[in-house]
Amino acid sequence: MTSDIHGRRALQSLNFFMADMQAGVGPFLGVFLLAHGWQSGLIGSVMTIGGVAGVVAAAPAGAWVDGSQHKRALVAVPGVCTVFASAVILLSQGFWPIALSQVATAIAGAAIGPAVIGITLGIFRQSGFNHQNGINQAYNHAGNAVGAGLSGLLGWALGLPAVFWLAVAFAIASILSVSSIPRESIDHRMARGLRTEGQIGEQPSRISVLLRCKPLLVLAASLTLFHLGNAAMLPLYGLAVVAAKQANPATFVAATIVVAEATMVVASLVAMRLSERRGLWLVLLVSFAALPVRGLLAAHLIHSWGVFPVQVLDGVGAGLQSVAVPGLITRTLNGTGHVNVGQGAVMTAQGIGASLSAAIGGWLAQWYGYTTAFLILGSFALGSVVIWIRWAAVLKEAGADSSAVEPVA
């Protein structure tokens, strides 16, 4: 019991600090490079290169987490890579040094999501996972909001390089937090989704189980389309408002993150409760529907105060998904022994959409303007809504039964 309490506190601390390490630098990287003479197309392309590396590494990283007895180290290593990447960005603004730093960070960071999910599942088991994951995500989003606020303040007072030094500080705090999780509190069999704790002779299913799992495939397809439109929206909106000289670069980009992440704190807690009462299918449907509305508002509110409606919708979509996506995967793959590689496979699908989004959004903005880019990006999620409604029966069954073992054929 004591180790579980320590594990819970350490997980909350880890999720708070790793938020800025994991996601806080990205939007600031765009305006930092813009200030050094980069065009939006090249900015999108360098982000895409890192995104592609993360996509390639995601599924193997998930498999590694499933089989590893060192899940804490798989969270600590990306912290070291964040320190390295920040140093490269500050020392050189050349295309290839920046691109290589993003590749290194993306490959190391591909293990973060599955590792934290695995640690949570290994400590709290299936019965306590959804509740603890909701709390984890609330801390994660709160950490991102605090990190973004500090980044905006430091960027305004000391210049954009201070943002990257803050990311280094958060990375070090993340390493210390994950190191404080008691090793003995993690049941590595439960962490990979083996159903019965300590059952002798229990073996994982064949990994081909992922390809026969309809709920997982539908989820992956829906998330690919969603992230194809969503990933580029935040950095492009920051670029659009800054290019129109409507706001200070550092403080406005910080505001976009703070508003979204503050909303995500609430949305993740709502998702935790709503999924228990109404099911995971509805939670994800609402998250998909938020993006087309967000794209429409972004296209017509390229102004500093537009950050509030545009980024509140970002927070709704991302906050709901941060709880519902891992929850649906862990329930669907419970008993297979491949929960974390399943997380990695879905991250691959998300990454494909997100990495292409940066390039597509960047070039659309450069060729046709920001208004058209936002409308096109927002429309991609309409495909997610159609797919989600079409396969509603299969998805509701998978999300409702936390004890299910056999994937839907």
Per-residue pLDDT of the chain (409 residues; tens, 9 = 90+): 555 566 677 788 788 877 655 554 555 677 677 777 777 677 777 777 877 887 888 888 888 888 888 888 888 887 777 777 777 777 777 788 888 877 877 777 788 888 889 899 888 887 788 888 888 888 888 887 787 778 777 777 777 677 777 777 888 888 888 888 888 888 888 888 886 554 545 667 667 778 888 999 999 999 999 999 998 888 788 777 777 666 666 667 667 777 888 899 899 999 998 988 888 999 999 999 999 999 999 888 877 777 788 889 989 999 999 999 999 998 888 888 888 888 888 988 888 888 788 788 888 888 888 889 999 999 999 999 999 999 999 888 876 654 444 443 3
Asked if 309 contacts 233 with a C-beta cutoff of 8 angstroms, the reply is no
Q: Can you say whether residue 193 is alpha, beta or left, with left for phi > 0 and alpha for psi between -120 and 50 degrees?
A: left
pLDDT at 408 (0 to 100): 38
pLDDT at 387 (0 to 100): 95
Distance CA 393, CA 408 (A): 11
pLDDT at 278 (0 to 100): 87
pLDDT at 122 (0 to 100): 87
Instruction: Give the CA angle between residues 56, 62, 66 to the nearest 5°.
Output: 155
pLDDT at 26 (0 to 100): 59
CATH code of the domain occupying 2-191+209-400: 1.20.1250.20
pLDDT at 6 (0 to 100): 65
Q: Which two tokens stand for residue 58?
A: 């995601």
pLDDT at 409 (0 to 100): 36
Q: What is the three-state SS of the chain? A: CHHHHHHHHHHHHHHHHHHHHHHHHHHHHHHHHHHCCCCHHHHHHHHHHHHHHHHHHHHHHHHHHHHCCCCCHHHHHHHHHHHHHHHHHHHCCCHHHHHHHHHHHHHHHCCHHHHHHHHHHHHHHHHHHHHHHHHHHHHHHHHHHHHHHHHHHHHHHHCCHHHHHHHHHHHHHHHHHHHCCCHHHCCHHHHCCCCCCCCCCCCCCCHHHHHHCHHHHHHHHHHHHHHHHHCCHHHHHHHHHHHCCCCCHHHHHHHHHHHHHHHHHHHHHHHHHHHHHHCHHHHHHHHHHHHHHHHHHHHHCCCHHHHHHHHHHHHHHHHHHHHHHHHHHHHHCCCCCCHHHHHHHHHHHHHHHHHHHHHHHHHHHHHHCHHHHHHHHHHHHHHHHHHHHHCHHHHHHHHHCCCCCCCCC
pLDDT at 5 (0 to 100): 64
